[in-house]
Structure 1
Amino acid sequence: MAHSTLLSCLLTPYAVPVLLAAYFVLPYLSQAHLFAIPSPFPAAFTNLWLFYQCRRGRRFTAVHHAHQKYGKLVRIQPNHVSVADDAAIQVIYGHGNGFLKTEYYDAFVSIRRGLFNTRDRNEHTRKRKTVSHTFSAKSIGQFEQYIHSNIELFVKQLNTICQNQTDPRTGYASIDALNWFNYLAFDIIGDLAFGAPFGMLAKGKDFAEVRKTPDSPPTYAPAIEVLNRRGEVSATLGCLPWLKPYASYLPDSFFSKGLEAVSNLAGIAIARVNERLKPEALENNTRVDLLARLMEGKDETGATMGREELTAEALTQLIAGSDTTSNTSCAMLYWVLRTPGVVQKLQKAIDDAVPAGIDVPTHAMLKDIPYIQYVLQETMRIHSTSSLGLPRQIPFSGSPIEICGHTFKPGDIISVPAYTIHHSAEIWGPDVEAFVPERWAPERLTTRQKAAFIPFSTGPRSCVGRNVAEMELTNIVGTVFRNFEFVIEQKHAMETREGFLRKPLGLNVGVKRRQHA
């Protein structure tokens, strides 16, 4: 009798709306302690609001606008609250708080879990110990030779363009700067993480070898496009991780193409590690790059990484060290060119520090030039390549915690949106939307501003390769403005789209060779 009653209820015209109401309302009702926190409709009832914003490539702007409307606490998913308060940074991300990465990171797993998407704290500690020596001061110093050689080729290729493609009417050759920064960044990380550059600078083209397994025949794919698609689809599916196994069947080709990109990106890592681990390559190898250091890495038991884990960690370095650098380089060029006086200050500072006749300065020549660091820090603040709030969950075994006067319970997810923090007039002043490198001068920078600057995140899950990234960016800035003059040729502002990272969609500039001492 009970079964027939249930069946008759399910067959009534009201079944669908009742089930939908239960699906959306029950999660909301189960989080009664979050009722008082405002949210854009229907974010408090369903993950679909954030999912939709990610699909549009506008998560950071949607969350930022929600904070402007509602205040420092905004509910962006039924159990996820965005906290636009710099005082919460150390509470959520700092050492010793025990907060966990959420299921959001499951959407980023391909070969196996790497340092970035490992959620288990003990496993992350093991991986971090194995990888950390890779980024020691000694190792980073040895990496510069690979960065330097690729920047030399970058200069050579731009010189060739200037010689052969200059418009006599303007005196400049026209390029999309983003493409060339992409080629440079991918060749550098290919050289560092896999033992050889991808060859993009040499060919002026985006391509890479792909192998689904170490023994499968090679195919080829555009690595930059693959990485962009992978970031977009993973960041979107991270809002609904259970959907990942079924996403390729969705009518929106964004998902099928994105998941194909996930597979191809893993295949790029497999192909490059496979080449590096060939017996003849190992026998004659004298390189001191990232992959060599990863192969040497040992955990607390003395065990080294197996082939699959090594490939996964090399892939992590490829993802972390490629379009992060090119996005920042492109944004740096855009903001420097559109801000009067900055180019001249940069060039003077560089010329004063670099000996005559040097086209590609070393890091030692550039690292102590304060104005280069001011420009880079201001770029990472105003552009915020990592713009979204990285989600963290209060452990179910933990205790309630108070943030901004509100008590959060175990199981709640909270995050601090980097873009909103970096664009807070309360923190940075009324000129927050202006590009002002001088705000980073020690006499102007406040303790609060220093603590609120989180382009590499902070705490135990912060970017392990920060020092390499900063060296690479310093060398790029010093070389670019040592050798070339630029003008912006596009009439519109630089457009961006957000996947996991906020990336420029292009930057059309004129370039010509600069004469220096």
Structure 2
Amino acid sequence: MALLDILSSLDGPSWAALVLAAVVLVHVVPYILDPHGFRSYPGPFLAKLSDFWLGKVAADGHRSERVHELHEKYGTFVRIAPNHLSIADPDALQVVYGHGTGTLKSDFYDAFVSIQRGLFNTRSRTEHARKRKIVSHIFSQKNVLEFEPHVRVHLIQLFKQWDRLCAGGVRGEAGDEGEGGWRGRDGRVWYDCLPWYNYLAFDIIGDLAFGAPFGMLTSCKDSAPVAVSQDDAMATYGKDAAYKVEHFPAVQVLNDRGEYSASMGVVPPRWRTLVKRLPWYNKGNQAVQRLAGIAIAAVARRLSAPESDRHDLLEKLQEGRDDNGDPMGRAELTAEALTQLIAGSDTTSNSSCAITYYLAKYQHVQEKLQKELDDALGGEDDSVASYEQVKRLPYLDAVINEALRIHATSGIGLPRLVPAGGLEVCGRWFPEGAVLSVPTYTIHRDKAVWGDDVEEFRPERWFEQDKVAVQKTFNPFSFGPRSCVGRNLANLELLVIVASIFRRYHFVLEDPSAPLATNEGFLRKPLKCIVGMKRRNV
């Protein structure tokens, strides 16, 4: 008898028995057999039997904090899924993520694929090496310095908008600029700075990756064109853009996509097709398609424009060649441009917002930084600082590093598969196929490295701590062959943005006692940051 006939003949009790048997087969049997030797490791009971615990935590938006609480309770090793062990020890970073250990990205990254696999989500070591060879030279320090003028142009545009708000604040006016709103009080403008950092980051990366900004700073609005028919858009490369576009809030799309993919990534692959039909996940899947549509529309527009002598990421991606001398195909080019859009917007805006929050909260730190900036830039006008002017300012560097420590945008432990032959980590042996991760959020709070005041924003610790211990524990860009390829660009952007903004403006918090509220998808993002801003008299 066919399986379908058997199933159709079952009554209610038989169905219940069948479901119970399936649960036992899928969850209990692997726990009993313990193929990866994880049974002895502590963790939530449900996490030992099912991926549901980690999936629920990821969907709730506070994965890093929940895993950190488990490490505080249980110690270095915590089981967070049937085949996933979190290891909160800085010594594990180089083994789990470093060169020569052979670990691979797990199937978690399959949930981040849209157009096709890019540098971030490809799991093949060979394919990753090919892609990295093409992409890595783009972010050499020499090339990154060519991008600096684009960063400066958009900072100047931001300053025009903020100066106008400050003038309204001095007069005590109220207004509605973009989605944040603003009001004047006590000689300051009070507003949510997070949307503005999003506008700045998106316009910079739009200019760098796609040849033109999204125009968010001028419109004061989160909006970007999305290719509705991706096939039509892909077909019009280098031709008149005849495909249809609609405008969507790009920042919101990016946030929805991150939350969806990070939670879908912990769902076992065999269940993902079914889970995608659930309402929350269906919304996230739409965000994945819309984000891909943003990249497709932007790349198609860029490639159909007349040739120019501008230097940007897309130009250099087009020039790149692999070992066989072959360039990227159209879909691959767009997938890599999408990777740069995601990585280059989220991290910059989130970090800039977090730095502003902590400097506004700790006034003595802000004053000390501004003293260093005034001394270094004295005699110069108060416009945008150059990278050359600020690249060696020690307190500025410490402020940025401390913010990246306490608010690492990528705080979750990125999952890696143990390769054939097994792997020894922190004195423990793990067999092939086991999934290991090292949570950045937790090791950035290791009191043995950072001191007992790990929750305090204190840049001075960067002049006090053991440099070797700090170097092996500080993990804002990950380690090894899969580390962030764009860290030179991120470093340049943060130095120039933070120096220029705090040279020009002074910030206070509306409520100094309120924590920085966050939500975590793949990245840990601020939800809002209400500040009072005024122009400084330099």
Same fold (TM over 0.5): yes
1:358-385 deviation digits (Å, cap 9, x = unpaired): 3211111111111111000000000111
Q: Greater shift after overlay, 132-141 or 105-114?
A: 132-141
Q: Residue type matched to 1:122 in 2? A: T
Match of 1:262 in 2: 288
CA shift for structure 1 position 13: 5.3
Q: 1:296 to 1:282 in 2, by over 3 A?
A: farther
Aligned with 2:444 (options 401, 404, 422) = 422
For residues 292-307 of structure 1, what are the structure 2 equivalents within 5 Å? 292-307=315-330
Query: Residue 340 of structure 2 aligns to a residue in which SS?
Result: helix
2: CA distance, partners of 1:282 / 1:345: 48
Does residue 1:22 correspond to 2:49, yes or no? Answer: no
CA shift for structure 1 position 322: 0.4
CA shift for structure 1 position 169: 4.5
Q: Residue type matched to 2:431 in 1? A: K
CA shift for structure 1 position 163: 1.2
2: CA distance, partners of 1:176 / 1:358: 23
Aligned with 2:371 (options 337, 348, 360) = 348
Does residue 1:119 correspond to 2:119, yes or no? Answer: no
Match of 1:144 in 2: 148
Q: Residue type matched to 1:327 in 2? A: N
Q: Greater shift after overlay, 159-168 or 431-440?
A: 159-168
1: CA distance, partners of 2:214 / 2:70: 41
Q: Residue type matched to 2:530 in 1? A: N
CA shift for structure 1 position 405: 3.2
For residues 233-312 of structure 1, what are the structure 2 equivalents within 5 Å? 233-240=260-267, 241-250=269-278, 253-278=279-304, 281-283=305-307, 285-312=308-335
Q: 1:245 to 1:21 in 2, by over 3 A?
A: closer
Aligned with 1:229 (options 242, 247, 256) = 256
Aligned with 1:319 (options 325, 342, 345) = 342
Match of 1:402 in 2: 424
CA shift for structure 1 position 402: 2.3
CA shift for structure 1 position 8: 8.0
Q: Residue type matched to 1:67 in 2? A: H
Query: Residue 42 of structure 1 aligns to a residue in which SS?
Result: helix
Does residue 1:482 correspond to 2:503, yes or no? Answer: yes
Match of 2:236 in 1: none
Query: Residue 519 of structure 2 aligns to a residue in which SS?
Result: strand
Match of 1:374 in 2: 398
Query: Residue 277 of structure 1 aligns to a residue in which SS?
Result: helix
Q: Residue type matched to 2:301 in 1? A: E
For residues 139-218 of structure 1, what are the structure 2 equivalents within 5 Å? 139-166=143-170, 167=172, 169-211=185-227, 212-213=229-230, 214=233, 215-218=242-245
2: CA distance, partners of 1:12 / 1:123: 45
1: CA distance, partners of 2:484 / 2:302: 25
Aligned with 1:101 (options 101, 105, 128) = 105
2: CA distance, partners of 1:496 / 1:157: 26
Q: Greater shift after overlay, 199-208 or 134-143?
A: 134-143
Does residue 1:31 correspond to 2:53, yes or no? Answer: no
Aligned with 1:74 (options 75, 78, 87) = 78
Q: 1:171 to 1:21 in 2, by over 3 A?
A: same
1: CA distance, partners of 2:28 / 2:441: 31
1:55-111 deviation digits (Å, cap 9, x = unpaired): 100111111111111110111111110000111100110011110001000000000
Match of 1:362 in 2: 386
Match of 1:387 in 2: 411
- Contact conserved, 1:31 with 1:79, CA < 8 A, in 2? no
2: CA distance, partners of 1:156 / 1:177: 15
- Contact conserved, 2:103 with 2:416, CA < 8 A, in 1? yes
Aligned with 1:459 (options 464, 468, 480) = 480
Q: Residue type matched to 2:480 in 1? A: G
CA shift for structure 1 position 245: 3.2
Q: Residue type matched to 2:352 in 1? A: S
2: CA distance, partners of 1:413 / 1:438: 37
Q: Residue type matched to 1:389 in 2? A: G
Query: Residue 100 of structure 2 aligns to a residue in which SS?
Result: coil
1:252-308 deviation digits (Å, cap 9, x = unpaired): x32121111110000000000001111xx243x111111111111110011111111
Q: Greater shift after overlay, 330-339 or 308-317?
A: 330-339
- Contact conserved, 2:199 with 2:217, CA < 8 A, in 1? yes
- Contact conserved, 2:382 with 2:504, CA < 8 A, in 1? no
Does residue 1:219 correspond to 2:249, yes or no? Answer: no
Aligned with 1:493 (options 503, 510, 515) = 515
Residue segments in structure 1 that go unaligned for 5+ positions in a row: none
Q: 1:13 to 1:452 in 2, by over 3 A?
A: closer
Match of 2:58 in 1: 54
Alignment size in residue pairs? 508
Q: Residue type matched to 1:236 in 2? A: S
- Contact conserved, 2:169 with 2:185, CA < 8 A, in 1? no
Q: Residue type matched to 2:282 in 1? A: S
Query: Residue 255 of structure 2 aligns to a residue in which SS?
Result: helix
CA shift for structure 1 position 12: 7.0
1: CA distance, partners of 2:63 / 2:145: 37
- Contact conserved, 1:402 with 1:408, CA < 8 A, in 2? yes
Query: Residue 322 of structure 1 aligns to a residue in which SS?
Result: helix
Q: 1:337 to 1:17 in 2, by over 3 A?
A: same
Query: Residue 487 of structure 1 aligns to a residue in which SS?
Result: strand
CA shift for structure 1 position 15: 3.2
Q: Residue type matched to 1:384 in 2? A: A
Does residue 1:472 correspond to 2:493, yes or no? Answer: yes
Question: TM-score w.r.t. structure 1 length?
Answer: 0.95
2: CA distance, partners of 1:275 / 1:221: 17
Q: 1:169 to 1:108 in 2, by over 3 A?
A: closer
Q: 1:75 to 1:436 in 2, by over 3 A?
A: same
- Contact conserved, 1:439 with 1:445, CA < 8 A, in 2? no
* RMSD, aligned α-carbons: 2.0
